[in-house]
Homo-oligomer: A and B are copies of this chain.
Amino acid sequence: MITNRNTQPTIKEIAKRLKIAPSTVSRALHDHPSISWVTTMRVQKLAQELNYEPNLSAISFKQRKSFNIGVLLPNLSEVFFSTALYGIEDMASTKKYNVLIGQSLDDPQREERILLSMKNSRVDGMIVSVGKNTINYDHFDLLQKCNIPIVFFDCIPERKDIHFTACNLQIGMLMAINKLVEKGITNIALINGPKQLVASKQRQQIYFQGLKKNNLPYDEKLIGFTDLSKKGNQQAMIDLLKLENRPTAIITFNDYLALDAIAIAKEQNLVINKDIFFISFANLPIWEYMDDRPMASIEQFPYKQGEQAAKILFSLIDSLQNDQPIMDYQQIIFESKLIATLQ
């Protein structure tokens, strides 16, 4: 049987014991200059003895700050996101903040529900990576109206008036195409994600630029699309392999798509990294265990993206706290990097 009234010491408790006012105790605990050395010491000593811990609920109520930030992202089982979360957590813990987590599972309704629930629990700010099916951004605007700053990362809405961190895929993609061309491979396809995604548009544009820089022809047929479901992935790959001039290299929207595409290629008895080559985005740690894997991945630095998104968020929170107007939108863009995954 376990029962015991929770009786954490409070400032009043300390004040009563030392026969001084609570306000004096409060100031002493904060090393306020107007409190004498002796009093400060007496207070701090007793606080230590009693294991005093300030009641964060009371403080957050009084200060109108919760010392929580919310993180909303599609899916923590994707290593990309769980890595980003490390970055956020690490930055938050240096600022003595806690992290509330919500997974949207790419479901816009769930996304909205989580967002509102975090708003109501008065998070001081949010870090968001938008789900791939989200088209309506009203609930994000709602949070802004409530003075809850939002910083997006990686999957960001296609708008100018937001704070975000993201990764510029350009260099990675160029290096990838260069690498293929060096090997004499010029028939390069792209399987892209849903057309409404910023990430998709970006990939397509950069893919196009990469071809151009290498003086390769642009063939619309070599661009496939998928909704990123397993079936969609497979179908897109099947369609590409049916082409008259079958591609010998395929750039895939992400690693999970690459897995499906590679599986289809193998079913059709193509030898990976001989008959056909793959280049993917992100960089699953699991690749090293697989024989048939992309020849390279474009690294997008999730830890840094998360960490810096949190940094931006805390600067916004501080500005709001000090009633400073936020003058412009903070946007950090990292450069991607091509990582060879073979050998």
A interface with B by C-beta (< 8 Å): 1-6, 8, 53-58, 60-61, 64, 66-68, 75-77, 79, 82-83, 85-86, 89, 93, 96, 98-103, 113-114, 117-122, 144-147, 259-260, 262-263, 285-286, 289-292, 323, 325-327
In the assembly, what is the distance between CA of A85 and CA of B101, in Å? 10
Give the residues in chain B near A113, CB-CB below 8 Å. Answer: 93
Give the residues in chain B near A120, CB-CB below 8 Å. Answer: 53-54, 56
Instruction: Check if A4 sits within 8 Å of B147, measured CB to CB.
Output: yes
In the assembly, what is the distance between CA of A298 and CA of B135, in Å? 40
| Contact of A93 with B117 at beta-carbon distance under 8 Å, contacts A8-B146, A147-B4 already known | yes
In the assembly, what is the distance between CA of A186 and CA of B341, in Å? 38
**Seed contacts A5-B147, A93-B114, A259-B289; 4 additional CB < 8 Å A-B pairs:** A6-B64, A56-B121, A98-B121, A100-B100
In the assembly, what is the distance between CA of A275 and CA of B61, in Å? 65
In the assembly, what is the distance between CA of A5 and CA of B117, in Å? 21
| Contact of A2 with B99 at beta-carbon distance under 8 Å, contacts A121-B68, A263-B289, A289-B290 already known | no
Write the chain B residue with the least CB distance to A77.
B82
Partner among B3, B98, B285 whose Cβ is within 8 Å of the Cβ of A326 = B3
In the assembly, what is the distance between CA of A75 and CA of B82, in Å? 8
The smallest C-beta distance from A228 to any residue of chain B, in angstroms, reads 15
Closest 7 CB pairs of A and B: A6-B147, A3-B325, A77-B82, A76-B82, A61-B61, A101-B101, A57-B61
Instruction: Check if B289 sits within 8 Å of A57, measured CB to CB.
Output: no
Instruction: Check if A98 sits within 8 Å of B77, measured CB to CB.
Output: no
| Contact of A99 with B101 at beta-carbon distance under 8 Å, contacts A57-B57, A122-B55 already known | yes
Most chain B Cβ neighbours within 10 Å, of A79, A98, A120: A98
Give the residues in chain B near A76, CB-CB below 8 Å. Answer: 76, 82, 85
In the assembly, what is the distance between CA of A288 and CA of B277, in Å? 21
Give the residues in chain B near A77, CB-CB below 8 Å. Answer: 79, 82-83, 285
The smallest C-beta distance from A286 to any residue of chain B, in angstroms, reads 5
In the assembly, what is the distance between CA of A118 and CA of B67, in Å? 11
Instruction: Check if B121 sits within 8 Å of A103, measured CB to CB.
Output: no
Write the chain B residue with the least CB distance to A149.
B2
Instruction: Check if B103 sits within 8 Å of A325, measured CB to CB.
Output: no
The smallest C-beta distance from A4 to any residue of chain B, in angstroms, reads 6
Instruction: Check if A103 sits within 8 Å of B86, measured CB to CB.
Output: yes
Instruction: Check if B145 sits within 8 Å of A4, measured CB to CB.
Output: yes
The smallest C-beta distance from A230 to any residue of chain B, in angstroms, reads 10
Write the chain B residue with the least CB distance to A56.
B121
